[in-house]
């Protein structure tokens, strides 16, 4: 009987080896372990065996049963792993290869015009020694208002309609000026420094030809000794001449923002209508593009900067409007639409 159990196990191993798929294993298992299987037959015949024989055969048959069980489970697992690997190999997509996109019959639309202009502006400022910083979309009251010299009772809070979270503390940032605060907070940050911070901003506004609820700005900040309005004008002029590669008419007028003093609005002569008046410039001939000014001492104090020694300038450029002026787009809403005929005009891979 003991020999028979050994022979059965050897026979099982050889049959298992020949199994070509999961189903064959599932069919093989009951042949040995099923109610009418080989092992059960042996166990049934124990009733005729002596007590001595039973003592030996019982544990031995359990051992063989367990081994068969384990080997079946292992082989099934191996087949499953092989199946998964085959599927993975078959469906492999190399997303780094632009050719795969074409082979799959998909059209590549290139970069969004706002991304293109953002990179262009970043490169111009990088070449002038500015750093590039980032900041979160979800902000808190402190970074969006308080540290920018806009306390909770200040009427300037109403200048930008804010998407607040239910806790009344967190919000979707309404401007990239939050990056001024975050930039000054950075560990080891000491003047002199200059950085730009691009990104999305959110306002609960009615949309029209020049207003969106989600749009893009790039913030700029320079802090050092004896920074003046001339520095500010120099950097703004350099930026605009490099972006437009032609002379564009601009005007500087007083502007009010609690975080700058004095504050300015830099407007560009509308390039859609040439200044004659249209829906983009609201029939004024000018488009508000780049508010700026000298950083208010209170903002520097929130950033732990010694205001007896240092001062600075800051600006907040509207990137969507810059794209509109550069490419002659007469409605900002085209930039957020999904019309591929529009999107593919700018750049492709």
Residue ranges that bind ligand FA5, judged by CB under 6 A: 160, 175, 177, 203, 205, 211-212, 215, 217, 257, 260, 263, 288-289, 291-293, 314-316, 318, 320-321, 332
What backbone torsions phi and psi does residue 333 show, to the nearest 5 degrees?
Answer: -65, -20
Q: Are strands 214-224 and 250-254 parallel, antiparallel or unpaired?
A: unpaired
Percent helix, strand and coil across the chain, each rounded to 5?
45, 20, 35
Q: Pick between residue 75 and residue 210 the one whose CB is nearest to ligand FA5.
A: 210
Q: Pick between residue 32 and residue 195 the one whose CB is nearest to ligand FA5.
A: 195
Q: Pick between residue 15 and residue 261 the one whose CB is nearest to ligand FA5.
A: 261
Give the torsion sign (CA, 48, 50, 53, 57).
Answer: positive
Instruction: Report d(CA 297, CA 112) in Å as an integer.
Output: 38
Residue nearest to ligand FA5 (CB): 318
Structure tokens, 328: 């002659």
Tokens 């490169």 locate to: 123
Q: Pick between residue 39 and residue 239 the one whose CB is nearest to ligand FA5.
A: 239
Q: Pick between residue 16 and residue 292 the one whose CB is nearest to ligand FA5.
A: 292
Instruction: Report d(CA 186, CA 294) in Å as an integer.
Output: 21
β-pair partners for 253: 265
Structure tokens, 81: 């792993």
Query: Closest separation between CB of residue 158 and ligand FA5, Å?
Result: 12
């Amino acid at each position: 009987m003991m020999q028979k159990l050994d022979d059965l196990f050897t026979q099982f191993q050889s049959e298992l080896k020949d199994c070509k798929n999961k189903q064959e294993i599932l069919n093989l298992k009951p042949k040995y372990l099923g109610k009418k299987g080989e092992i059960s037959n042996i166990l049934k015949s124990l009733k005729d065996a002596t007590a001595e024989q039973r003592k030996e055969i019982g544990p031995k048959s359990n051992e063989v049963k367990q081994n068969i069980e384990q080997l079946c489970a292992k082989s099934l697992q191996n087949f499953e792993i092989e199946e998964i690997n085959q599927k993975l190999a078959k469906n492999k997509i190399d997303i780094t290869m632009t050719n795969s996109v074409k082979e799959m019959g998909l059209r590549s639309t290139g970069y969004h015009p706002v991304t293109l202009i953002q990179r262009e502006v970043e490169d111009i400022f990088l070449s002038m020694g500015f750093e590039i910083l980032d900041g979160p979309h979800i902000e808190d009251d402190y970074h969006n208002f308080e540290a920018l010299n806009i306390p909770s009772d200040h009427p300037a809070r109403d200048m930008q309609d804010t998407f607040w979270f239910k806790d009344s503390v967190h919000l979707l940032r309404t401007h990239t000026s939050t990056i001024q605060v975050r930039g000054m907070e950075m560990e080891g940050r000491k003047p002199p420094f200059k950085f730009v911070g691009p990104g999305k901003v959110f306002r609960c506004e009615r949309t029209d030809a020049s207003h969106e609820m989600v749009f893009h700005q790039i913030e700029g900040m320079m802090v050092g000794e004896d920074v003046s309005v001339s520095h500010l004008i120099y950097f703004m002029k350099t930026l605009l001449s490099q972006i437009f590669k032609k002379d564009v008419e601009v005007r500087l007028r007083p502007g009010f923002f609690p975080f700058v003093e004095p504050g300015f609005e830099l407007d560009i002569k509308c390039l859609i209508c040439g200044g004659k008046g249209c829906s983009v410039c609201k029939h004024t001939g000018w488009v508000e593009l780049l508010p700026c000014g000298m950083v208010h001492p209170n903002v520097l104090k929130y950033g732990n900067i010694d205001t007896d020694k240092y001062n600075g300038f800051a600006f907040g450029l509207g990137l969507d409007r810059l794209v509109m002026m550069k490419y002659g787009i007469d409605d900002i809403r085209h930039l957020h639409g999904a019309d591929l005929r529009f999107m593919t005009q700018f750049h492709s891979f």
